[in-house]
């Protein structure tokens, strides 16, 4: 058995990390803090990333019109029926959740830390949306609670980054990773497989680069083509190749083999809203994808980090 798992997984599962560090079931509850992005409001660009839905990749976050406590309790009440006595991480998911004046960030973060059984905060954001004063606050916050900062990278390739309208450079990303690490803050990096015109080698190169940074965790996504996005229009006009389930599984396994075994796999497939998903349709069967990854890793007799 792979040493960083509690079941049949051959990669370092987030569940393993939670269970061994908190001795409890830990659940992330997605919240919508009402933030925007520097590539939406014109600071860096307009329109956001071409794949982002109107919710800013926060489909499973709370209702932006509800108070944070209301959002939190709606999900918590459901979870408690399945896993009583769970502990929780408040997950600021939609858009860039450090992109606001410091007093607003403090108000929101400190509020959720007071909710019952909340043991930490996960903050999804961009490398160019964290000010120096925010970094100082995050350093202090990290000493009081379990904190992870999730940085969207998606790809290391400049031509792809421009196409998807990321509006930040690879150097900006790398600099922020090191700034966070200097403060002992756990960094989780987001990448997306099957971005338009990227080859398998390009996707593997992104992981090779990330592995050298010494990050704490990673989220691996399959590209979602969502209704009413610029990506939908690009797909309809250019018909670029979208990975099949088999192709995706093959590439993910190769990426896992390249990642240090200590890197915590926070996500290994996407979790789209079926109502808004254009392609690929196979993504809606999330657990089938996860099970097929497990089976193929057994078949290949391979593990995370085997090629590091």
Give the distance from CA 51 to its chain's centroid. 14
Task: Record the pTM.
Answer: 0.96
pLDDT over 70 for what percent of the chain? 97
pLDDT of 56 > 60? The answer is: no
3 within a domain of the structure (yes/no): no
219 within a domain of the structure (yes/no): yes
49 within a domain of the structure (yes/no): yes
pLDDT range class, residue 211, cuts 50, 70, 90 = very high
Q: Number of folded domains in the chain? A: 1
308 within a domain of the structure (yes/no): no
pLDDT range class, residue 61, cuts 50, 70, 90 = low
pLDDT at 194: 98
| Domain housing 221 | 14-300
7 within a domain of the structure (yes/no): no
Among 59-63, 67-71, 92-96, 148-152, name the one with the lowest average pLDDT: 59-63
pLDDT of 8 > 90? The answer is: no
pLDDT range class, residue 43, cuts 50, 70, 90 = very high
pLDDT of 59 > 60? The answer is: no
pLDDT of 58 > 70? The answer is: no
pLDDT range class, residue 64, cuts 50, 70, 90 = confident
Starting at the edge strand found earlier in the chain, the sheet holding 217-222 runs 26-31, 87-92, 118-125, 146-154, 186-193, 217-222, 264-267
pLDDT at 57: 55
pLDDT at 195: 98
pLDDT of 60 > 70? The answer is: no
End-to-end CA gap in the chain: 18
5 within a domain of the structure (yes/no): no
More confident residue, 57 or 209: 209
22 within a domain of the structure (yes/no): yes
pLDDT at 167: 95
pLDDT range class, residue 53, cuts 50, 70, 90 = confident
pLDDT of 34 > 60? The answer is: yes
The CATH number given to whatever domain includes residue 110 is 3.20.20.70
pLDDT at 55: 60
234 within a domain of the structure (yes/no): yes
For the segment 153-203, what is each residue's pLDDT rounded down to a tens digit?
A: 999 999 999 999 999 999 999 999 999 999 999 999 999 999 999 999 999
For the segment 234-283, what is each residue's pLDDT rounded down to a tens digit?
A: 999 999 999 999 999 999 999 999 999 999 999 999 889 999 999 999 99
pLDDT over 90 for what percent of the chain? 92
pLDDT at 63: 85
């Amino acid at each position: 058995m792979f040493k960083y798992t509690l079941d049949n997984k051959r990669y370092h599962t987030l569940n393993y990390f939670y269970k061994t560090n908190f001795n409890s079931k830990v659940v992330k509850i997605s919240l919508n803090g009402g933030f925007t992005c520097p590539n939406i409001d014109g600071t860096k660009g307009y329109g956001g990333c071409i794949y982002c839905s109107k919710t800013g990749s926060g489909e499973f976050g709370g209702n932006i019109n509800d108070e944070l406590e209301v959002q939190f309790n709606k999900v918590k009440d459901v979870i408690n029926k399945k896993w009583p006595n769970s502990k929780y991480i408040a997950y600021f998911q939609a858009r860039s959740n450090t992109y606001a004046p410091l007093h607003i960030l403090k108000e929101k973060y400190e509020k959720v830390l007071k909710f019952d059984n909340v043991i930490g905060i996960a903050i999804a954001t961009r490398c160019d949306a964290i000010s120096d004063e925010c970094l100082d606050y995050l350093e202090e916050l990290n000493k009081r609670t379990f904190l992870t900062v999730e940085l969207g990278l998606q790809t290391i390739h400049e031509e792809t980054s421009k196409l998807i309208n990321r509006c930040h450079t690879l150097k900006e990303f790398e600099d922020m990773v090191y700034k966070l690490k200097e403060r002992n803050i756990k960094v989780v990096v987001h990448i997306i497989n099957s971005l338009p015109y990227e080859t398998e080698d390009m996707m593997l190169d992104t992981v090779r680069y990330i592995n050298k940074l010494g990050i704490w965790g990673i989220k691996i996504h399959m590209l979602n083509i969502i209704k009413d996005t610029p990506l939908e229009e690009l797909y309809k006009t250019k018909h670029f190749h979208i990975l099949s389930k088999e192709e995706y599984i093959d590439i993910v396994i190769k990426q896992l083999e390249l990642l240090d075994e200590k890197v915590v796999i926070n996500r290994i497939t996407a979790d789209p809203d079926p109502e808004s998903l254009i392609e690929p349709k196979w993504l809606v069967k999330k657990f089938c994808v996860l099970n097929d990854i497990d089976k193929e890793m057994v078949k290949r007799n391979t593990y995370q980090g085997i090629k590091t």
